Amino acid sequence: MSRVGKKPVPVPSGVTATVTGQTVKMKGSKGELQYVVPNVVDVKFEDGAVSVQPRNQTKEARSLWGTSRAQVANLVEGVSKGFEKKLEITGVGYRAAMAGKALKLSLGYSHDIEYAIPVGITIAVPKPTEIVISGIDRQVVGQVAAEIRDYRGPEPYKGKGVKYAGEFIFRKEGKKK
């Protein structure tokens, strides 16, 4: 039995939840999101909470039960608080800056990288070596952070590159004579 799936998702005040068939819609102060629950999982809105149950005891239904509950919980948190990821840039001459509606990255290549910001995402650059990505959809925020990190991931010898805030980079020792 899923420990995550059996807990109902409480809907706080200020957030309106609508369940129509397999579609769960949440509307809050930050915006509006929806998620289509897989057919092997049953979803209900009752007593101010959204509950998720598997329709049968197949492996697919049981594996999607906890996942669906987590997705619904992410909708609630997204429309009420939002999500945020922080990236840190390490390296001599490596920096980030906002250029209109794009993020301009100088990461040691012969050219600067222009990253077009997707709709629904806000990127702030408080310092040239720090990037803050925020939005209401957890998946999109994480995807944008991963795409920016992929331009120059942290390398293990000097630690140069773009990393998540608080991420531990396993350092290697260089060549020995």
Q: Is residue 31 part of a domain?
A: yes
Domain span including residue 142:
83-164
| Same domain for 134 and 160 | yes
C-alpha distance from residue 89 to each of 61, 117, 127, 144, 161 (Å) = 42, 18, 10, 15, 6
Q: Is residue 176 part of a domain?
A: no
Q: Is the pTM of this model over 0.75?
A: yes
| Same domain for 22 and 71 | yes
| Same domain for 90 and 73 | no
Tens of pLDDT along the chain (177 residues) come to 677 888 899 999 888 999 998 999 999 999 999 999 999 999 999 888 999 999 998 999 988 999 999 999 999 999 999 999 999 999 999 999 999 899 999 999 999 999 999 999 999 999 999 999 999 999 999 999 999 999 999 999 998 999 999 999 999 998 888
Query: CB under 8 Å to 101, separation ≥6 — which residues?
Result: 116, 117
| Same domain for 46 and 20 | yes
Q: Is residue 174 part of a domain?
A: no
| The 3-state secondary structure of 98-160, one letter per residue | EECCEEEEECCCCCCEEEECCCCEEEEEEECCEEEEEECCHHHHHHHHHHHHHCCCCCCCCCC
| Same domain for 110 and 139 | yes
DSSP H/E element including 86: strand 83-90
pLDDT of residue 126: 95
CATH code, domain carrying 105 = 3.90.930.12
Q: Is residue 1 part of a domain?
A: no
Residue in this structure with the two tokens 């429309």, named with its chain if needed = 79
Q: Which of 80, 107, 142 is the last residue of a domain?
A: 80
Q: Is residue 110 part of a domain?
A: yes
pLDDT of residue 46: 87
Task: Give the pairing of strands 130-135 and 83-90.
Answer: antiparallel
pLDDT of residue 6: 85
| Same domain for 63 and 123 | no
| Same domain for 50 and 108 | no
Contact 125, 144 (CB under 8 A): no
Q: Is residue 173 part of a domain?
A: no
Q: Is residue 171 part of a domain?
A: no
Q: Which of 35, 53, 80 is the last residue of a domain?
A: 80
Q: Is residue 169 part of a domain?
A: no
Q: How many domains does the structure of the chain reveal? A: 2
| Same domain for 134 and 96 | yes
